[in-house]
A and B are shown apart, each in its own frame.
Chain A
Amino acid sequence: MNSFSEKYIKYYFIVPVVTYIFIVALFPLLFSIYMSFSKWAPGYGLSFIGITNFKYIFTDNRFYNSAILTFIYVFSLIFLEFIIGTFLAYLLHKNIKGKNIFRVLFMLPMLLSPVAVSYVWKMILDSNIGPANYFLSMIGIAPIEWLSGNYTSVISLIIVDVWQWTPFMTLTILAAFESLPKDLFEAALVDGSSNFSIFTKIMFPLCLPIIITITLLRTIDAFKVFDTVYILTGGGPGTSTEILNFYIYLKGFRNFDLGYGTAMSWIQLIVIIILFMYVTKLLKGSGALR
């Protein structure tokens, strides 16, 4: 083997991949910047119209409403999944029997198709024949219009996401707990610490960096929500579940206002990236994240 090929062979492996990403992912992305400054109509093609799309965003109330709704949706489900996930992980971490069975069964929802899952929940939450209202009626609660009320429809979307993704938080946090050295707990127990203070003073702080990383990952994914909204509520009633992605989709593919759609998706992306940079900087500053 000559030294020339040994020196350059590594590029044979990486260059095709990087090139592929450039052509298939980065080019469309750059192209979409151009699109956001243009107008597209079927049959007429793209025409450059400057910043008109972006100017329009600032006067579009529907955009504001859906942006606010998106943030409320994302933060409430992240909050719930974080709390429930940590609690379940804490319980699972106590050496209980059948831990592995619990783990595998908890995992079942995660890889399921959001479309199928939404249909299943649509059946469960159906206000007339669904079992959800039937269970509520057994404990004396009046039937709830799960999918056609202004607030309840948002709550329904949150329930579906919590159902599908809390296990992810539970099992990642559990894995983090399990990676801690065993003698740490023994030493703390010998010192007479209570179970709860072991959790708050040792387990949680030590696992915090990983818990934060996981939560950030989950947040990125939560911002991508679309399928459940499309199937479960269709953005309704009215516009009360019109998450930003769904509004962008409507503008882009129902009204075929692709320019305006891409302009909005760029604003969304920039806001999310700034938010993340700010949060990670804040966390690094406070020492919670390495």
Chain B
Amino acid sequence: MKKTFIYSILSVWLVFTLFPIYWVILMSFKDATSVYAKTPKFIPFIDFEPTLLSWYHIFGKTVGGESEYMILDAIGENGLYLKNSLIVSFCSSILTITLGVMAAYALTRFKFKRWNNDNISFFILSQRMFPPVALAMPFFLLFHFVGLLDNVISLIIVYSIMNLPIVTWLVKEFLNDVPIELEEAALVDGCTRWQALLKILLPITVPGISVAFLFSFVFCWNEFLLALSVTFKNAKTLPVGMAGLTTLRGPSYWDIAANSLIIMIPPLIVTIIANKYIIRGLSLGAVKQ
């Protein structure tokens, strides 16, 4: 096959992949005139004059003669949503990592005769099968009964269960790469199991565990359906807050674009710094790279 043919096909897909990302960045620097122009404007400074209008809105500032109400209409209570998103993603990931490391350590370093290691692994993994909507309804009622609806704690708990399979799987793979002799030596030297895990194994696997943490963080950050079901006002996360905005106003696409970009930035950063592990993580170890 001709090299030029290969490159042109790959480039077509590349343009298809990158265009939406380019477009949302572009839109966030437009105003009403350039968005509603007769033909779409593609190149800043040549096609249209970029403006920071929507970025002022995002940070709660008015421009020119706009009223405060318009800002609220454009961004809702973005500060609160952002705070919630950060708290939920961070706390939930810490919880998931703690549980995941314990499970992964037990599954890679011990043999469970009665339960069988494979069965435990499968049990943890099977949590990934259920469509979130099937879990949203019982969670809604249970949190209603215990008074945790619209509370960040409920989201932290729900997300920890959602991310436990992938985190356990990833950490297991990283622990498998560490030779067992290292710990045996420590145990012979008089370390306890906990010391061997905390002082010998964890420092070596910090890169792997950070990757698992980043993934877990991003999945919490992106999650929509469960957050939509169990939060109404005070515990709304960024995606839910954003989805609520469209009902309030017409399509002021420039603000929507800036909002979308804010939500897209953490995943993009994680993709770039952890790109080596994404495929391995998302395929739950089915594929090694």
Chain A residues in contact with chain B, CB under 8 A? 1, 6, 9-10, 13-14, 16-18, 20-21, 24-25, 27-29, 31-32, 35, 40, 46, 84, 87-88, 91-92, 94, 96, 102-117, 119-121, 123-124, 126, 129-131, 134, 163, 167-168, 171-172, 175-176, 178-179, 195, 210, 213-214, 217, 220, 223-224, 226-227, 230-231, 245, 248-249, 252-253, 258, 261-262, 265-266, 268-269, 272-273
* CB < 8 Å A-B pair total: 269
Q: Does B249 contact A (CB under 8 A)?
A: no
Contact of B134 among A18, A103, A269 (CB under 8 A): A269
**Chain B nearest CB, measured from A270 CB (Å):** 11
Contact of B260 among A87, A119, A130, A252 (CB under 8 A): A119
Q: Does B224 contact A (CB under 8 A)?
A: yes
Please tell me if the beta carbons of B161 and A175 are within 8 angstroms of each other in the complex. no
Q: Does B193 contact A (CB under 8 A)?
A: yes
Contacts of A245 in B (CB 8 A): 131, 133, 225
Number of interface residues of B (CB under 8 A): 95
Using an 8 Å CB-CB cutoff, how does the interface string of B258-285 with A read, 1 for contact, 0 for none? 0111011001101110010011001110
* Chain B stretch 136-150: residues in CB contact (< 8 A) with chain A: 136-142
Please tell me if the beta carbons of B13 and A114 are within 8 angstroms of each other in the complex. no
**Given known A-B contacts A110-B282, A123-B257, A226-B133, A129 and B17 have beta carbons under 8 A apart:** no
Please tell me if the beta carbons of B256 and A119 are within 8 angstroms of each other in the complex. yes
For the A-B complex with A119-B257, A210-B286 known, give 6 more contacts whose Cβ atoms are closer than 8 Å.
A21-B161, A163-B16, A176-B287, A223-B131, A226-B133, A253-B229
**Given known A-B contacts A115-B239, A230-B224, A121 and B127 have beta carbons under 8 A apart:** no
**Chain A nearest CB, measured from B53 CB (Å):** 16
Complex: A265 Cα to B136 Cα, angstroms: 10
**Given known A-B contacts A17-B124, A105-B14, A224-B131, A115 and B243 have beta carbons under 8 A apart:** yes
A-B contact pairs, 22 of them (CB 8 A): A13-B106, A14-B112, A17-B102, A17-B106, A20-B99, A24-B160, A25-B127, A87-B9, A88-B13, A91-B9, A107-B275, A112-B222, A113-B224, A113-B263, A115-B239, A171-B278, A172-B286, A220-B128, A223-B131, A226-B225, A258-B141, A261-B137
Contacts of B222 in A (CB 8 A): 111-115
Complex: A223 Cα to B134 Cα, angstroms: 12
**Given known A-B contacts A110-B282, A245-B131, A10 and B221 have beta carbons under 8 A apart:** no
Q: Nearest residue in B to A253 (C-beta to C-beta)?
A: B229
Q: Does B235 contact A (CB under 8 A)?
A: no
Contact of B287 among A129, A175, A265 (CB under 8 A): A175
Complex: A223 Cα to B112 Cα, angstroms: 33
Complex: A10 Cα to B197 Cα, angstroms: 12
Contacts of A92 in B (CB 8 A): 10
Complex: A124 Cα to B257 Cα, angstroms: 11
Contact of B132 among A29, A175, A226 (CB under 8 A): A226
Q: Nearest residue in A to B225 (C-beta to C-beta)?
A: A226
The CB with the most chain A CB atoms within 10 A, among B40, B139, B161, B246, is that of: B40
Complex: A167 Cα to B283 Cα, angstroms: 12
Please tell me if the beta carbons of B133 and A94 are within 8 angstroms of each other in the complex. no
Please tell me if the beta carbons of B283 and A172 are within 8 angstroms of each other in the complex. yes
Q: Does B67 contact A (CB under 8 A)?
A: no
Q: Nearest residue in A to B246 (C-beta to C-beta)?
A: A231
Contact of A115 among B6, B23, B106, B224 (CB under 8 A): B224
Q: Does B42 contact A (CB under 8 A)?
A: yes
